[in-house]
Amino acid sequence: MAQAYFGGGTRILLKETAGLLMVFVCFLSLTEAAMFPDVKVEPVIMDEQVLWLREAVGEVNTYRIPIITYTPKGNLIALAEARKCTEDDGGAKFIALRRSLDKGATWKPTEFIVDDGDVPDGLNLGAVVVDEEKDIIFIVYSLCAHYYMCNVSSTMLIASLDDGITWTRPRNLSKEIGTKMFCAGPGYGIQKKYEPHKGRLIVCGHGTIEGDGIFCLLSDNHGNNWTNGGNLKSIPYNQPKQNKDFNPDECQPYELPDGSVVINARNQNFYHCNCRIVVHSTDGCDTLPVENVKFEKDLIDPAVAAGALLKNNIVFFTNPANEHKRLNLTLRWSYSGSSWGDNSIQIWSGPSGYSCITTLDGSVEESKYIYVIYEKGHFHTDDTISVAKVHLYGGI
């Protein structure tokens, strides 16, 4: 398995320059940090484009579950579920992909990189995670997540070694992690930049409605092997739920400079409030202690998958900012990571659903931008999937 996703010797020529590159990266990071320590965030939407439309075209009925990520070479990849016959969560699907090689200015045509055939309970798009140390992009997704005309769920993995141009055949992780239903994300996984467990890949997600909660998958050898990490189970666990039960669901992790991981989660049954559940892990998601759970009352939420990202030591968050309806896609930010105040800008006032955030690093100019992909509609939340390029500092 050592060569499962990357060929030995292909990067030998880079070793001689690794030291110089590390010096440059460290210098660049310090430069960017020095430029933005006290700069006030004043977001401006510089550009927005529709990537996918709801209308049935060819074999696709509806596009849902938008995800966006950077790539090792500094490009952008957008992903979505291309639902073949219905707008419902079940049914057969493709994983749809579009690439941008010019920082979101233009996007290449849609490609279908996974096809589950005509199964009655098809794939659920989960999370993308970039291994920056090995220049690999992984996508984690699930099969038979709803147990509709099937009874064994599988967690699947594909990988790209060439910046998202080609992808490996799907690999079933069931022998490593079991067959408990696990839906990653939806969003992105992380590679830890700091100790503890520097370099670890972390993908978090949720389980079935009865056996729900936050569950994390971990890899300490660049995706060659995966293990089950920490979890935060619903209460009552593996039992039917009622309104106001504790039931964390779809989630997005990000890492803080102190090495801790924050997981921002959907509060499925509105336990304690119509707001987000947040849990901190200080051991690289080996555990998700219940004593580290808090409720972000400022982040009102109608129970939906949301975007979260740490950039320039500021936490950014996107969701439909409404307690009951999927309306009003809003970008919020926190300088402390725990206090949000009135720091917000509306991205879209109408129907809006799932969202995801990414950023490109590597230059001072790119430190000014984030990219928000989200479900945007005039009549339904899934009329389109759109991506907005947001300048964080007033367009300057």
Q: Which of 116, 375, 382, 383 is catalytic?
A: 375
Q: Which of 89, 111, 163, 286 is catalytic?
A: 89
Q: Which of 354, 369, 371, 374 is catalytic?
A: 354
Q: Rounded CA gap, 295 and 9, in Å?
A: 48
CA angle 33, 36, 39 (to 5 degrees): 160
CA-based Rg of the chain, rounded to a whole angstrom?
A: 20
Tokens matching residue 315? 């936490």
Tokens matching residue 387? 């991506």
Whether residue 102 lies in the annotated active site: no
> Is 299 in contact with 332 (CB distance < 8 Å)?
yes
3-state secondary structure of 132: coil
Tokens matching residue 343? 């720091």
Q: Rounded CA gap, 27 and 38, in Å?
A: 19
CA distance to 114, 167, 185, 258, 326, per residue, from 354 (Å): 21, 25, 11, 29, 9
Q: Rounded CA gap, 172 and 244, in Å?
A: 35
Whether residue 135 lies in the annotated active site: no
Q: Which residues contact 243 (CB under 8 A, 6 or more apart)?
A: 269, 270
Q: Supply the residues annotated as catalytic.
A: 89, 354, 375
